[in-house]
Structure 1
Amino acid sequence: LRGNGVKTDSIVGIMVERSLEMIVGIIGILKAGGAYLPIDPNYPKERIEYMLKDSGSNILLSKSDLIENIEFYGEFIDLYNEEIFKNNITNLPRINNSKDLAYIIYTSGTTGKPKGAMIEHRSLVNRLNWMQNKYPISEKDTILQKTTYTFDVSVWEILWWALVGAKVCMLSPNGEKDPRKIIETIDKYKVTTMHFVPSMLNVFMYCVEENRNNMGLSTLRQVFSSGEALNFKQVEKFYKEFGNGKKLINLYGPTEATIDVSYFDCINHGKRVIPIGKPIDNTKLYILKNNEPVPVGVSGELYIAGDGLARGYVNRPELTAEKFVDSPFEPGTKMYKTGDLARWLPDGNVEFLGRIDNQVKIRGFRIELGEIENRLLQHENIKEVAVLAKENKDSEKYICAYVVSEKNLEELDLKSHLKETLPEYMV
């Protein structure tokens, strides 16, 4: 990578399935001084090409059969070519400082194009150090790497273990959708630490209940949950299934603030409100209305300040200026406007109340409904469209689109149209 010109703030794309090569590639990019850009090989061709072009990536680590139909004019390095591992294996001199980029993660955007949040090393180190100080692991622990690496929860799954000489267990590709596979993996590899979005935690707990497979989960001791609102029924069920020997931690945070900015240790206390908790180290939370703090119990927009804030969005100065605003409380610093409604509770915790805008989270995936609407409006037979997030009888969210057309349209045709540019989780 250094030989191909990688230096500080160089963006290096990586597009592979979950594998040992994925971790080797990510650590290699960071050691070379660059920032990694994770790309899901299952994304539509147009989205992959947009991310590579928009980010300015000149190098792509991948596998030859994954890039056959991708237009990319930079340098391709095949991570599965054994020859590349025969070079000098001594550590390279470190060239980074704390304000260099560590990674870029693209999230759904209202304009119909995804936007890339740029995270610096100082933000990543702050987040990992907080986690190790608050929920320490040692060489005896094993983290389950199950989150798709295009989502930022994967960052701590991929890197935390290495700080202390612990172990990481790579769940097989697509195994994150199979609770039985997860249970088998926890049992076989003695997993101690892992993450679930609340909806998948539900599925996991029902599977445990069905199979009464608790004995196979004896090593599991801490479960982190984020990506959606965690409710009291899920907490109750967790402690009913596992007792007090395992810990459930509710985390909250946007990609723009380095994974998580607040935490709450869930206990089986019977309260109906599960807060998103208190800020992590070197982080401040503000709840404001008209740029003024609101009293305890009053709702307002949640703002984030501190070491976790992203540098901004790739090639989006206007959006960066709109979302990362000057702090009236600490001149010379920025705050991130989350678009989330929240309120302070009397005990100093924060309660999440929902979104202000048109963004939703479904199964942990952050989705701008406007991006789906924009894509549907590109269909030649659609005149008007409205996309909503609705709930089924089990309170699970799903996306529902209403279209106005002068012709009869087949659902499969519309889904096919969306899949040309949108990832599977948005269709």
Structure 2
Amino acid sequence: MPSREDITYFGAGPALLPTDVLETAAASLLNYKDTGLGIAEHSHRSELATNIINEAKADLASYLDIPEDYEVLFMQGGGTGEFSATAYNLVGAWVERKKKAIFGDLKADEVNDPTLMQQLKTTIDKELKLDYIITGGWSQKAAAEAARLLGPEHVNVVADARQINDGKFGKIPDESTWKLSEDAAMVYYCDNETVDGVEFPAFPKCLEPKADGSGPIVVADMSSNILSRRVPVRNFSAIFFGAQKNLGSTGVTVVIIKKDLLPPKLQQPSASLMRKLALPIPPIILQYEIIAKNNSLYNTLSIFDVYVAGQVLKKLLNTYPDKAAGQEAVSAKKAQLIYGALEAHPDVYKIVPDKAVRSRMNICFRVTKGGDVDGSERAFLKESTAQGLTGLKGHRSVGGIRASSYNSIPMKGAEALAQFVEEFAKA
């Protein structure tokens, strides 16, 4: 029976957690700060819980250099929940802006003017668009959810990587080919696609804000590469990510959102107005303004999961004086080691994505040794597991091998995998 020290787990998520963080969390589950109660037993309304949330928010802001005009929300529902939440909230923000442009400063009882209401409805029918850059399975699902909620006529596919790669994911279309809407409610992209091993090498140039601060409403899913590199937060209106890759355990989802999209700067349209406009009304638990107003405590948040995330952040801050830049250098080096070993044996391994967009987090490849892909991959997985290198099986939808080199994978783990890749190729 292997011990924790005997294996390096490369699973795509839930991911490996630092052992010392787990040890601290385990002790806190029994007795947190000598209160006689475990952390999961304390009320989410307690001062203790508020302090845990505020510390985690402050540490995340420090590590990623989040500006003061952004809010951090702890939510539930994972990245999939955020596919819906971003659509709901940013469509609401778009409608509110259009309403103000058409109705001006009319009082609430004057908003029912039939001529102006028809003008607003016509504007929505003709102009409301959510833009999606599809580069893998997760962005594909995000676009599909928006189409389900709002209707496909309101979803604009800016680019679809499959159209330039024989129907498969593995590339990012050149920005010159992107077809952005003129005034999209949001432009969504997934910064790192875990299934297909595709990562944006940098923030897209065509989405950068202009000198006057104007620009598209950009939303990014960073569930699988957050905390692994520096993030130009000011380029985004919202960033969301599940905790279970680089931040903590399954059960908490984080949203970093510009305060301009929250009260008092911007109010969401009333439910009655959205019904008149035949637009969906979000569940209250997915409304960003409600979560922000209640400091993420509108309902019973898992304080234990926030605590684990907070401990991971403290460890990162203690490990890297230069914060995200320090982890970025380590992440790049680990990826270079593994990709280098694979590239050294092109007759045995085929790396799935194009070199220009290879993910540092999810290294996807096929084993083609002897021409028997299925047999070679079964042998690769069996022998790697015997050496304590586990969790390497690719996603069920695409097969192959996937090594997820999240922050918690130590350098020696990456070195061990690179060595095994070499040895298997030569055997």
User: Which structure's residues are more often strand, by fraction?
Assistant: 1
**Larger relative contact order (CA 8 Å, sep ≥ 6):** 2
Alignment TM-score, normalising by the size of structure 1: 0.30
Structure with greater Cα Rg? 2
